[in-house]
Structure 1
Amino acid sequence: MQTVEQALKKLEKSKFRSGFHLSEQDKAYVRAKGMETICRHAEDFVKNRLAPANLNNDGKQTPMRGHPAFLAQHATACCCRGCLEKWYHVPKGVPLTPLQQKKIVNLLMKWIEKEMEA
């Protein structure tokens, strides 16, 4: 199993994934809300939009803008079950465990932290 840092390094090699960055507006939102609130939002998004075994709108459930966590999901290939399967070998059709959800949120938050430093 790869670490968060290993996953981020792998994602940096993807032209598509490495093209995502927080805008100044996104960064202002993170500063205004705080990382704890952003983390709670990310937990909710993962639990409700990604964790269920079968999603009617898989591949379209994560907007490209509107919240820093959405952008992080695309940047880290945690935006849909198809990307989770391709990048992390997480099978479709099986609900995500609480541990898997936590690992995804940790990856999202680490990406956001790095973007806030940039």
Structure 2
Amino acid sequence: MTYKQLDLFATDDEEEKIKKEVEGINLSPLFERLAKSQFRSSFYLNAKDKAYIQDKGWEKIEQGTRETIARRLAPAFIANDGKQTPMRHGIFPPFIAQHATGCCCRGCLEKWHGIPRGRALTLREQIYLTRIVMEWLRQHDV
């Protein structure tokens, strides 16, 4: 099945405009709220996760994150919602970041980001979520 959301990689003017707009969003308030959650703040990258990022490189990690969000979060209805994002280390580091940032399922997207369930994610929302996950990874890859 092909997902419309994979148009994230198009280079049209509208997408570039959305990316610039999303880059301008101050994520500090979100990260401050997440830090107050004992569960969300318990996530970290282990040595295997960091080695994976080094091996693949940031561009591949971001591409994989975009594809993951398009496949696992963007559809309006997800059969295994709430269970679609693995929580174990050593699989794909963005999965850990998704849990840490409340970007792991539609319930968490609604609670932490105000994105309602029952409708497909917009391109803007997908770019926004990718940015959040990537920012968390960069902050924790030290």
1:96-111 correspondence to structure 2 within 5 Å: 96-111=121-136
Which 4+ residue blocks in structure 1 deviate beyond 4 angstroms? none
Paired residues in the alignment total 116
Per the TM alignment, residue 87 of structure 1 is displaced from its structure 2 partner at its CA by 1.1
Q: In structure 1, which of residues 62, 76, 93 is the aligned counterpart of residue 101 of structure 2?
A: 76
Q: Distance in 2 between matches of 1:45 and 1:10?
A: 24
Q: In structure 2, which of residues 94, 113, 122 is the aligned counterpart of residue 88 of structure 1?
A: 113
Partner deviation per Cα, 1:44-66 (whole Å, 9 max, x = no partner) = 00000000000010000001121
Unaligned runs of 5+ in 1: none
Cα RMSD for the two superposed structures: 0.9
2:49 partner amino acid: D
- TM-score in terms of structure 2 length: 0.79
- TM-score in terms of structure 1 length: 0.95
Q: Distance in 2 between matches of 1:4 and 1:50?
A: 20
Partner deviation per Cα, 1:28-54 (whole Å, 9 max, x = no partner) = 110111111000000000000000000
Q: In structure 2, which of residues 77, 91, 94 is the aligned counterpart of residue 54 of structure 1?
A: 77
User: Equivalent pairs: percent with the same residue?
Assistant: 47
Q: Distance in 2 between matches of 1:11 and 1:89?
A: 14
Larger radius of gyration: 2
